[in-house]
Structure 1
């Protein structure tokens, strides 16, 4: 039986295959600028054909790490290996790696095709081969009708594709992207994310992207490394990062989340019962956390996992928070409710607007109940 592309893609997890060798290895890599440590003892494996994201806030070290992969910075300690070869001391222009910057850095006096060909000419590639390779990447990024135009005659999205083509025409083994979509508006940015994914999948080149945009990382990535203060705090697939964060920091950084504090009251078979003053109820949760009775824990609840209703459930003692609607945000497809609990804590919940009725059955100052299933909450110990 034929396997669909989607099924094949789901099964492509080289990081779970002990027989697979990493395409890129970082071994104990640190980078210090004087007394400041920008990257702190990072070890990381990236596999051939991955679309890998380095995600984190400004100043977390992700761009410094990318620049070390490119060769623009040298590690203070540790090794960077590409296909098993140590890149220490190898200058950027001798690495089989190319980098695409947020600014695009196109030559304003050159046409699209001359911008793309520039690096090949510098490498003294024969003219016939240059023409062939430029034609191939122009077709790949769908800029054939714009080949003779100059950058000022192009839209922001078209300039972005020229920069991408210029990076790809040299056939790198790895492409590094530093906030490549930052200059685009939201709609074009979302469209270009899927274009990048399709191009990367067609070429099979390893892409490593730096971004602070969680939605962008979740959309394009095979895996994400979440960074904080120069360290990697979790590496996982987008689904695992969102549904199973390993800390309050990761849970709070990826998407919207409510964090409720409590203490373990009872430990059962695969379940915890948690007493929580913040929520005003006991919380029953499935867990993989080894937490004894009395231990402090935090429960992460995604807004879309909560069900909001004006009717109290049959049992309000467990997994049921009560409060008053404090604020409402209408986003078209969703309505966002801020609910002030009886304890004073503020909880955010989201409700899908399934009909075109603009009248909200739940409105300001209504008494509401927020409920969720035991597997909806994520129990965190740190």
Structure 2
């Protein structure tokens, strides 16, 4: 069957009440002296997920990954893999492999020998070992490079060798610690899709640690956004980006404009926020848990904003006026930084569908920024 043309089946076990989590992190805390690296964390990950732990430096994501690998033990709580408590199981007895950012390839061994190293350590017979190494070389598209040494490979090729070595023992879970951090931007983007395709083919649960938001958004079935040892939100990339549950998540993932305001109208299917900061009223076609009169924040992504030299038909709602004080040309996008009357800065991203010379907006122009009722998100914290 041609998998490229086959229809993809939605993969959402987290929405199935009958689905059993493959990895369960239950009330896990990890402390180093007085410092709490992971704080009473609970998290379920399902079989065949490509799951990302995303957050800034010091948020606890690497500590959690090391506990999954067995390099660190929880101070309290337990970690289960396929129904077995792994909290006290040493790393070498876990059906888990880890791929490091440095790749850690043996420089004196060939690509084939590097991939076969773990199998040789486990006493796998030579015929079986060779067969599995060949399978991995085919999987990562390096069949012609088996006799080369690591220094004879590009960065992307070394990354694929490290991945093949991690997968050849057929672990139940593969942990990836910033695996693409050493690659340049274009190669990193290409390799992200290669990783996704390989993960789908082998069907192994991948858990990746990254601080790169675009990387997490690209490869993940779900993302856990972490902050100070806790999980701020767990959701699909689409839900994380379109419906963040807090200002922290909204501001950490991508760019966003946030306006403070007060709820002046609340209904099941819409709310109205009066925002002195924005100088307008904001109509959002979704309800909220906050009460009438409560202080809330409205988040609008830059690409949701329309930029115009003329006022929209209904300028009293979802529209702010300001002056263009900076412009960034990114090729596919133009970024407009607009200063409102009270000094607040708002960012708009506009797709460049026409040539630069055909676009009328320039520095110091007075412009109107408007957005649709379904483009904003109301945040209560």
**TM exceeding 0.5:** yes
Indicate yes or no: 2:107 matched with 1:119: no
**How do residues 1-382 of structure 1 correspond to structure 2 at under 5 angstroms?**
9=8, 11-382=10-381
Cα offset for 1:355?
1.9
Contact 2:60–2:226 (8 Å) recurs in 1: yes
Matched residues in 1 for 2:119 and 2:268: separation? 63
Cα offset for 1:247?
0.3
Contact 2:284–2:376 (8 Å) recurs in 1: yes
State the secondary structure of the residue aligned to 1:11: coil
Cα offset for 1:269?
4.2
Cα offset for 1:262?
0.4
Cα offset for 1:374?
1.1
- The 3 A distance-change label for structure 1 pair 9 and 31 is farther
Matched residues in 2 for 1:336 and 1:319: separation? 20
- Name the Cα RMSD after superposition: 1.5
* 1:270-323 CA distance string (max 9 Å, x none): 211111111111111123312222110000000000100001123221111000
- The 3 A distance-change label for structure 1 pair 6 and 246 is farther
Which stretch has the larger CA shift, 82-91 or 328-337?
A: 82-91
Contact 1:96–1:174 (8 Å) recurs in 2: yes
Contact 1:277–1:343 (8 Å) recurs in 2: no
Matched residues in 2 for 1:269 and 1:87: separation? 45
Structure 2: unaligned runs, 5 residues or longer: none
Matched residues in 2 for 1:93 and 1:357: separation? 58
Matched residues in 1 for 2:51 and 2:234: separation? 10
Q: How many residues align?
A: 380
Cα offset for 1:6?
8.8
State the secondary structure of the residue aligned to 1:232: strand
Contact 1:221–1:237 (8 Å) recurs in 2: yes
Cα offset for 1:343?
2.0
Matched residues in 2 for 1:65 and 1:377: separation? 33
State the secondary structure of the residue aligned to 1:293: coil
State the secondary structure of the residue aligned to 1:233: strand
* 1:47-81 CA distance string (max 9 Å, x none): 10000000000000000000000111000000101
Contact 1:80–1:88 (8 Å) recurs in 2: yes
Matched residues in 2 for 1:6 and 1:200: separation? 18
